[in-house]
Chain A
Amino acid sequence: MALMLVPGIIASTFAHLRSCGQDRDECVVYWTGPRDIPGAVYGMVQPAHQAGPDWYEIDSAWITGFFLDLRHTGRTARAQVHTHPASAWHSCTDDLYSLAPSPGFYSLVLPRFAVGSRELGDAYLAEHQADGTWLERHPDTEIREIS
């Protein structure tokens, strides 16, 4: 199921990751959408987190509060988007400690602290599979901004 983003999500994602990471630290956001519209992404959420040049970790209380907020508002998290300092790929840490390790959840990694082009050509996208593994996907075909 491809992700269908409302206009502006990609631009605001890059803007936040750049602003927060300051070309120095990794950063992460989550894309959310209505639970009953498959693939829809209507918003971006910035978690409370700590980070360094090659890591990030989400505040524990924030995760619980986020899941409670999702159920109250009929939304779900469809993807996590985070930066790496150099090239984009999925590390062992990325594999093991995602927000929602269940089928259909996406993980998008942006290279060079998201400081380069706002295109997704250098990005790495993976989708969580039913057997617990991550399968690489092509960002250009799986992520679309709707007009």
Chain B
Amino acid sequence: MNIIKPTNSEKENAIENILSKGLSKPDGLMQFSNKIYRTLGFKFIFFDISQAIIMAVAVTVGFFLLYSLSSPRNVYSTLYAVSPLFFITVVFLTEFFERNGSLYELKMTFKYTIQEVIIFRILCYSLISMVICIFISISIPDKYNFLRAVSITLSALFICAAFTIYIMRNFNGRWVHFTSLVVWVTIVLLPVLILGESWELLLSQIPIGITLTVSVIGFILYLNEIKKLINMNKMEVQYYVGS
């Protein structure tokens, strides 16, 4: 009996076809965002967290005014310190309210867990923060370099965001969200506090190529972290130790 044997490429195609039907592919960034947005819409994604957002805006504006008024000449270090502040504060506050809210446990048992909603919120917060960075870089006086300003602000934002997400992804303690504040103090505030005027001098004289490269690397790190966060398995709600 003559049996027509398939070629190697036909075999590979058949295997690929079987695998594509049997395996569920991990969600991409767009696919994930689309799924969450279509199902929940902004109304439910940001349900009952307006208090946290208002507080984050107030903290950012307050810090910016205080810092810029106390040292009006240190423009670049002010931008560096302020740019990730909205992101850090809003992530911290919304996480704090969610995790300490009485519905957290229940929301972790739903088809779309609050963990997934928080990831989408982080995406939105980072986009808003990018817009804030660009806006404040445009609004600085003409004698300062726009490219330098925007690359410094975005570098600070992306590095802080990448570290915050890395910690959220790898640690699951009850107070893990506090580490976003630690990240901001360590990466952003410490150089300003320790180096003072020298930090401003460094930021104003460092070649723009370097600040741009750092912001691009920061962006890539941030994207990688957010992709890993999206496809991370659901975490155990660890602190429910008891009966």
Question: Does chain A bind chain B?
Answer: no
Binding site for B on A (CB under 8 A): none
Binding site for A on B (CB under 8 A): none
